[in-house]
Amino acid sequence: MIPPAFRWIIARRLARERPRTLLTLLGVALGVGVFVAVRLASTSALASFSGTVDAVAGKANLELASGTEGFDERAFTLARSVAGVRAAAPVVQVDALARPGAPAPPGRAGRAGTATSGAGAAVPAGAGRRHGSAANAPDEPRARSLYPDQVLVIGVDSFSEGPFQRFLAWDEPDSLPAEGSRALEFLSDPRAAAITRTLAARHGLGLGDSLTVLSSGRPLVLHVRAILESPALQHAYGGNVVVVDIATAQEGFNRLGRLDRVDLIVEPTRLDAVALELRRRLPADILVEAPAARSRQVENMVRAFELNLTALSFIALFVASFLVLNAVSMSVTRRRGEIGVLRAVGMTRRQVAAMFVGEGATFGVVGAGLGLVLGTLLARAALGAVSSTLSDLYLVYQARTLHPDASSYAIAGGLGVAVAVLAALVPALEASRTRPSSAMREGADVVVPRAALRAWTLAGLVLLGSAALIAAWTVRERRPWGGFLSAFVTVIAGSALAPGFTLALETLLGRPLRRLFGIEGALATGFLRVSVARTSVVVAALMVSVGMWVALSVMVGSFRRTVSTWVNQTIRGDLYVEPVGHRLNLSSTVLPDALVDSTRALPDVAAIVTYRGARIVYGGRPAFPARRDFDLQRRFGRLSFARGSGPEILRRALRRSEVIVSESFARHHRLAPGDSITLGGGEGRPPAARAPPARAAAITGQAAGTRLRVAGVFYDYSTDAGVVMMDRGLYSRLWGSRTESMAVYLRPGSDPDAVRERIIGLAGPELLLSVMPSRALRARALEVFDQTFRITYALQAIAILVAVLGVIGTLTALVLQRRREIGVLRAAGARRGQVIEIVMLESGLLGLIGALLGCLAGVVLALILVHVINTQYFGWTIRVRFDPGVFASAVLVMTAAATLAGVSPARLAAGRLAAEALREE
């Protein structure tokens, strides 16, 4: 039961002081809301992936899988023969664009594009998902309108599917084409497809209708022969699942003789033994794992991204805690007299503390409750941004629906309450120490003794030093949380320095303000001085917001400049050519050799650099091997290396069959030039688990466990998963020689548009190509970059909003507390306008001081973000540049916002309150 003292004193005050209560609640709600939104959006994106994995795995409890290159289909026969395997089913699986009905008219679609080179190629992953195009070419939105949807096409062997029971849930007799295990037999028709009920409904498709899918530039027309009713499949891949015969998929998607997976049902008691046996008998680049392991790999890959978003979402929650601290501090100050009376009539210290902790908890519980609702709404908006970024950066399916999970709500709600209670604890304990004898003066402010001020300042400096030590230790020891801890300690240090900084600036600005604004300026600074214990809390909150604002702007600005320089260095070809759909499937898309050769033969073409890339698992993390022609790269490209001369490294790598690795790959796997890695038959496994090379070669024809020396480390910002680049000869030995995209270098004086038309003409009407000028590709790369950070800006804006709410709340409370002084001012002849001016000056001054302290904190935080957190999680080198514009805008915006926040308290001070105070006197 809630004690009467709380109900009567705190609850009634909260209800009576509605604007202040609502401001604080709104702050907490925003903090919790942002946190829950980010968490829901990222967990939904991952849940969408793992949901798809589970749904298409059916009853399989083990699978054989590989990276995007797939593996030899003979592995299926081998797996089936292993004792303990009850059933095996081969699978080919591709992401494809889709449109209902017949293919788009080739004349229009043939010039459109959706793709670009992916993570393994020359430009940032996803850089072409929605690119611009040459002046006279249809652009990406056009291509999207022609093939508006994205589907997961699964090729299965109808004779093997029976025991897996994944595509057999025919609920409606009308759609039942056959019975029992023969249900998928209709798929022997090479154009037949079964589609989910969701996909059918989305496009109004029925039995007998056509659906065109496109994964590698060539449209494949399918006829809907069955509707899949399985509930799990309606959520897999957003409900967009198409099942076809495995031969159709292999032929239609360049997978002849290859499989993406073999799903197995193994006797549960023999699972480990079977897995061990399969690992022994199969080449080591085929991963033998439970289906859920795939979800875990993706989770590992996006963990850094998710963690950073979560850390950012903490900012709003952190700022909200200042709001609660501030609100409860104000409450304590204003009720100092009441506390004295309560202590005098028998309230114990514990009861006093509990009462104010209760106030904080009320803000926490109600604010968190509102925040959970707000967060769910925000999550719907954030899902698109988060999911699309994950899809662009990591090639994870884009989530369509939100999966609200109880743990996200519990964590966010619990954090909201905990943060509010912790924030209230400081003023609550301070209130409990109030002696009844010294507490009889109503509204007495807490005077900060000089000794306390010195202690706070000293503590701030010590903490700042500790933050530096933690950062240095993190960099040396590579501790995952050290960067965040260092940032947190910096923020606490800034908060401890706030009172001293406020007084120092007040002293510094006092005279100029007096000169500028006369007696009003002097009174404003005077008020600030006497209430420094309270105002420094709001200065600290502003410092946190501005600090993060400045730090993020510096980091993102520096990062963008670095990436822009890199993009300009890297994308140097005049035209980039790839099949439409390339971006979805990377290496499973193919540019025909004939097209590459005939393009090379064009008179205006000086050179062609072909690309190929794959996604593999290396050392338990996804990685992207990429193929380049090192000789051409040396002559035309401008790869920038961490150390050494680029052309020299490439020449040496070519001569000795060595690889070059991206900076993030080197950092994740602790590699330096001269070290070795094992690829093509051993990635992701400890050496002992590798299969003997002879056996591997017998099945796959690949070299197994090829040891490769690292010739150099190059700067790359396409993916933090890491890129291993090698010359075409070496790559072909490991993964074959197909080309998925190419860069075309033109002779001086050539017309890019004319060459572009020639290439499209060479491809013929059957192959849909994306031919992009490098300018468009570069623009798209930066567009992806900006989109990635858009959600960061949104989080930042909310943190600033919460801080401004804090200014309004603090000023209102200060004004209420000071009503007698204001009344005396009015009685002494101050005009209404003068009182308003004083309060707004004070407010603006608070904003200015908070912003200046925030700028200082921002510099430190930016250095931590770039040199510690980024290095630790992403492994990118960012050249830091402090843009004066960032600092100027932060100071101007925050000072203006704080001044405006003073309007309402100022009007209150000059109006009703002044009159009341005069009457009281």
Among 111, 261, 343, 667, binds another protein (CB under 8 A): 343
Q: Strand ranges (DSSP E) for 173-240? A: 192-196, 210-214, 219-228
Smallest Cα–Cα separation from 45: which of 388, 377, 405, 409?
388
The SS3 of residue 703 is coil
Give the position of tokens 């006279």.
Answer: 136
Q: How many CB atoms lie within 10 A of CB 821?
A: 17
Q: Which stretch binds another protein (CB under 8 A): 5-13, 392-400, 498-506, 574-582?
A: 5-13
* Cα gap 223→188, rounded to integer Å: 12
Would the CA dihedral through 311, 312, 313, 315 be positive or negative?
A: positive
Under rule CB under 8 A, residue 404 binds another protein: no
CB of 343 to another protein, least distance (A): 7
Among 185, 338, 753, 883, binds another protein (CB under 8 A): 338
CB of 916 to another protein, least distance (A): 11
Under rule CB under 8 A, residue 431 binds another protein: no
CB of 429 to another protein, least distance (A): 13
- The residues with which 14 forms a beta bridge, in sequence order, are none
The answer for residues whose C-beta is within 8 angstroms of residue 790's C-beta and 6 or more apart is 385
Q: CA torsion, points 653, 657, 662, 664, in degrees to nearest 10?
A: -130
Under rule CB under 8 A, residue 349 binds another protein: yes
**What kind and span of H or E run contains 679?**
strand 676-679
- What does residue 43 show for φ and ψ, rounded to 5 degrees? -70, -30
- Residue placing its CB nearer to another protein in the complex, 447 or 672: 447
Under rule CB under 8 A, residue 454 binds another protein: no
- Residue placing its CB nearer to another protein in the complex, 40 or 816: 816
Q: Which stretch binds another protein (CB under 8 A): 12-20, 511-519, 727-735, 853-861?
A: 12-20
Under rule CB under 8 A, residue 268 binds another protein: no
Under rule CB under 8 A, residue 344 binds another protein: yes
* Cα gap 298→303, rounded to integer Å: 8
In terms of C-beta density within 10 A (0-12 exposed, 13-18 middle, 19 or more buried), how is residue 247 classed?
middle
Half-sphere exposure of 549 (CA within 13 A, CB side): 32
Q: Strand 287-289 relative to strand 71-72: parallel, antiparallel, unpaired? A: unpaired
Under rule CB under 8 A, residue 12 binds another protein: yes
Under rule CB under 8 A, residue 436 binds another protein: yes
Under rule CB under 8 A, residue 81 binds another protein: no
The DSSP 8-state label assigned to residue 739 in this structure reads B
Structure-token pair, residue 353? 């503390």
Under rule CB under 8 A, residue 452 binds another protein: no
Q: Which stretch binds another protein (CB under 8 A): 357-365, 432-440, 539-547, 822-830?
A: 432-440
CB of 348 to another protein, least distance (A): 5
CB of 359 to another protein, least distance (A): 13
Q: Strand ranges (DSSP E) for 253-396? A: 258-259, 261-266, 287-289
Among 16, 18, 476, 670, binds another protein (CB under 8 A): 16
CB of 12 to another protein, least distance (A): 4
- The residues with which 287 forms a beta bridge, in sequence order, are 65
For residue 86, give Cα distances in angstroms to 39, 155, 481: 40, 21, 45
CB of 19 to another protein, least distance (A): 17
CB 823 within 8 A of CB 918: yes
- Residue placing its CB nearer to another protein in the complex, 51 or 340: 340
- Residue placing its CB nearer to another protein in the complex, 8 or 159: 8
CB of 427 to another protein, least distance (A): 19
Smallest Cα–Cα separation from 573: which of 602, 613, 610?
610
Under rule CB under 8 A, residue 347 binds another protein: yes
Query: 115-154: buried (b, 16+ CB within 10 Å) or exposed (e) per residue?
Result: bbbbbbbbbbbbbbbbbbbbeebbbbebbbebbebbbbbb
Under rule CB under 8 A, residue 913 binds another protein: no
Among 210, 300, 351, 904, binds another protein (CB under 8 A): 351
- Residue placing its CB nearer to another protein in the complex, 13 or 572: 13
- Residue placing its CB nearer to another protein in the complex, 439 or 666: 439
- Residue placing its CB nearer to another protein in the complex, 450 or 643: 450
Taken as a whole, the chain contains a residue count of: 921
Q: Strand 261-266 relative to strand 621-628: parallel, antiparallel, unpaired? A: unpaired
Q: Which stretch binds another protein (CB under 8 A): 189-197, 435-443, 606-614, 864-872?
A: 435-443
Among 180, 206, 208, 346, binds another protein (CB under 8 A): 346
Q: Which stretch binds another protein (CB under 8 A): 9-17, 291-299, 649-657, 794-802?
A: 9-17
- What does residue 830 show for φ and ψ, rounded to 5 degrees? -70, 135
- Residue placing its CB nearer to another protein in the complex, 440 or 596: 440
The answer for residues whose C-beta is within 8 angstroms of residue 103's C-beta and 6 or more apart is 109, 212, 214, 219, 221
Site map (CB under 8 A) of another protein, residues 135-164, x = contact: ------------------------------
Residue type (1 letter), 231? P
- Number of amino acids touching another protein (CB under 8 A): 29
Among 342, 395, 704, 759, binds another protein (CB under 8 A): 342
Q: Which stretch binds another protein (CB under 8 A): 124-132, 340-348, 618-626, 909-917?
A: 340-348
Q: Which stretch binds another protein (CB under 8 A): 43-51, 265-273, 436-444, 697-705?
A: 436-444
Under rule CB under 8 A, residue 9 binds another protein: yes
- Residue placing its CB nearer to another protein in the complex, 314 or 356: 356
Residue type (1 letter), 430? E
Structure-token pair, residue 919? 């009457």
Q: Which residues contact another protein (rule: CB under 8 A)?
A: 3-5, 8-9, 12-13, 16, 337-338, 340-351, 435-437, 440, 449-451
